[in-house]
C-alpha cells in the first residue's frame, strides 16, 4: 500500500496576479518559494512516518533543458533535482513527478499558459513531460493534476480560460498519451467526475490512476465528493484517495477508514496526504502535523491486519 505525501517544489499554481481578493500563498511569484532546511527535515520525517512515495510538484521550480525560460529565479538545476530524488530513494521513498496542466493551476507555465490548446502548447507539454520522465528515471506514475478547471476557480485571475466538452477531453487524452508512450501511468485528480459523471465514465481510460479528494470532517455519502470514492470503484477505476489537514486534523484518518470500508482492496492502491502548503519554514508545523496523521493512520491499518 502506498502512503504518499505531496510536496511542492513550485507553488505557482493559482492566481496569476496580485489580487486583493486572494489570500494566502496562492499568488504567483517569480522566484522559488522553498526552504531547503525544512525540506531536509521533511525527508527524515517522511521516512519516520512510513511514507513510501513522495509526489513532487515541479512546476517552474526546475531549470528544464527543453524550456529553460519557464524556470523562476532560484529554480533547481537538473543535477540538483537528480540528487534529491536519489536521496529520497535512499530513504525508502519512491519519487513521482507532478505537473498540473489544469488551466486553473498552470500559472507555472508562464507565457504558455496563455496559448492553451494550440500547437505551441502541445509541443511544450510534450517536451516537459518527456524531460520530467527522463529526470525521474522512468517513474511508476506521473501526476497530471487537471482539477478545478472552472470559471469559479479563476474568477480573480487576469487570464482565465476553461476548456469544455470535447476540447477538455482532447487535451486530456493528449497529455495521457504523452505519459503512456514512455511506459508510465498517468495519475489525476478526479473532481471532473463530480459534475460530469456520464462523460467521465464514458471517456476516462481505466488505465488512468484516480485521486478523488475530499477535505471535510464528515464522510457523508450525500456529498458528491465522498460518494465519488464508491462510484469510481464501481466503474472499475483504481484509486489513491487524497486527504488533507488543510481545513481540519481528522480528515486523513477518516478518509483512510472510509475508503478501506467502501473501496475494494484490489482497487485501493494507497493514500495521498497533502497540507496544501508551500515548503516554507512558516508552514513547518502544518507539514509535521500532516505527516503525523499519516503515521497514525498507517499504524491503525497495521494493527487491523
pLDDT at position 63 over 70 = yes
pTM of the model: 0.98
3-class DSSP state for residue 5?
A: strand
**What is the pLDDT averaged over residues 50-57?**
98
The mean pLDDT of the chain is 97
pLDDT at position 19 over 80 = no
For 29, the enclosing helix (H) or strand (E) is none
Asked if residues 171 and 145 have their Cβ atoms less than 8 Å apart, the reply is no
| Residue whose cell numbers read 470559471 | 151
Please tell me what DSSP assigns to residue 34. Answer: B
pLDDT at position 238 over 90 = yes
Residue 165 corresponds to which cell in the numbers above? Answer: 466538452
For the stretch 145-200, pLDDT in tens is: 999 999 999 999 999 999 999 999 999 999 999 999 999 999 999 999 999 999 99
Residue 53 corresponds to which cell in the numbers above? Answer: 512515495
Which of 6, 18, 258, 21 lies closest to 155 in space, CA to CA? 21
* Cα–Cα distance measured from residue 203 to residue 240, given in angstroms and rounded to the nearest whole number: 20
Domains belonging to the chain, first-starting first, are 2-304 (3.20.20.80)
* Cα–Cα distance measured from residue 14 to residue 62, given in angstroms and rounded to the nearest whole number: 18
Beta-ladder partners of 142: 186
Greatest extent of the chain over all pairs of C-alpha atoms, in Å? 53
Asked if residues 135 and 178 have their Cβ atoms less than 8 Å apart, the reply is no
Residue 190: phi and psi, rounded to 5, are: -100, 5
3-class DSSP state for residue 73?
A: strand
pLDDT at position 290 over 70 = yes
* Cα–Cα distance measured from residue 272 to residue 3, given in angstroms and rounded to the nearest whole number: 6
Residue 180 corresponds to which cell in the numbers above? Answer: 503512456
Q: What angle do CA 47, 53, 55 make, to 5 degrees?
A: 115
* Cα–Cα distance measured from residue 69 to residue 47, given in angstroms and rounded to the nearest whole number: 34
Residue 104: phi and psi, rounded to 5, are: -85, -10
* Cα–Cα distance measured from residue 97 to residue 62, given in angstroms and rounded to the nearest whole number: 12
pLDDT at position 272 over 80 = yes
Residue 233 corresponds to which cell in the numbers above? Answer: 470503484
Amino acid at each position: 500500500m502506498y502512503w504518499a505525501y505531496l510536496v511542492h517544489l513550485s507553488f505557482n499554481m493559482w492566481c496569476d496576479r496580485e489580487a486583493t481578493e486572494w489570500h494566502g500563498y496562492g499568488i504567483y511569484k517569480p522566484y522559488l518559494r522553498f526552504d531547503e532546511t525544512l525540506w531536509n527535515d521533511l525527508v527524515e520525517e517522511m521516512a519516520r512516518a512510513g511514507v513510501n512515495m513522495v509526489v513532487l510538484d515541479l512546476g517552474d521550480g526546475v531549470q528544464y533543458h527543453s524550456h529553460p525560460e519557464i524556470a523562476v529565479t532560484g529554480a533547481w538545476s537538473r543535477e540538483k533535482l537528480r540528487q534529491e530524488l536519489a536521496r529520497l530513494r535512499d530513504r525508502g521513498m519512491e519519487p513521482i513527478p507532478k505537473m498540473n496542466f489544469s488551466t486553473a493551476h498552470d500559472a507555472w507555465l508562464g507565457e504558455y499558459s496563455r496559448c492553451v490548446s494550440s500547437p505551441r502548447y502541445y509541443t511544450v507539454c510534450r517536451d516537459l513531460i518527456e524531460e520530467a520522465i527522463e529526470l525521474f528515471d522512468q517513474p511508476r506514475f506521473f501526476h497530471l493534476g487537471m482539477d478545478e478547471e472552472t470559471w469559479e476557480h479563476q474568477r480573480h485571475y487576469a487570464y482565465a480560460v476553461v476548456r469544455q466538452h470535447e476540447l477538455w477531453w482532447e487535451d486530456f487524452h493528449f497529455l495521457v498519451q504523452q505519459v503512456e508512450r514512455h511506459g508510465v501511468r498517468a495519475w489525476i485528480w478526479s473532481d471532473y467526475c463530480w459534475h460530469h459523471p456520464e462523460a467521465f465514465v464514458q471517456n476516462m481510460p481505466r488505465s488512468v490512476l484516480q485521486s478523488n479528494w475530499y477535505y471535510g470532517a464528515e464522510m457523508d455519502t450525500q456529498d458528491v465528493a465522498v460518494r465519488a470514492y464508491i462510484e469510481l470503484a464501481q466503474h472499475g477505476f483504481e484509486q489513491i484517495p487524497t486527504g488533507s489537514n488543510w481545513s481540519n486534523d481528522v480528515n486523513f484518518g477518516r478518509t483512510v477508514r472510509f475508503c478501506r470500508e467502501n473501496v475494494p482492496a484490489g482497487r485501493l492502491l494507497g493514500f495521498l496526504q497533502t497540507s496544501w502548503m508551500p515548503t516554507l519554514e512558516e508552514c513547518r508545523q502544518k507539514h509535521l502535523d500532516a505527516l503525523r496523521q499519516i503515521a497514525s493512520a498507517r499504524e491503525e491499518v497495521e494493527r487491523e491486519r
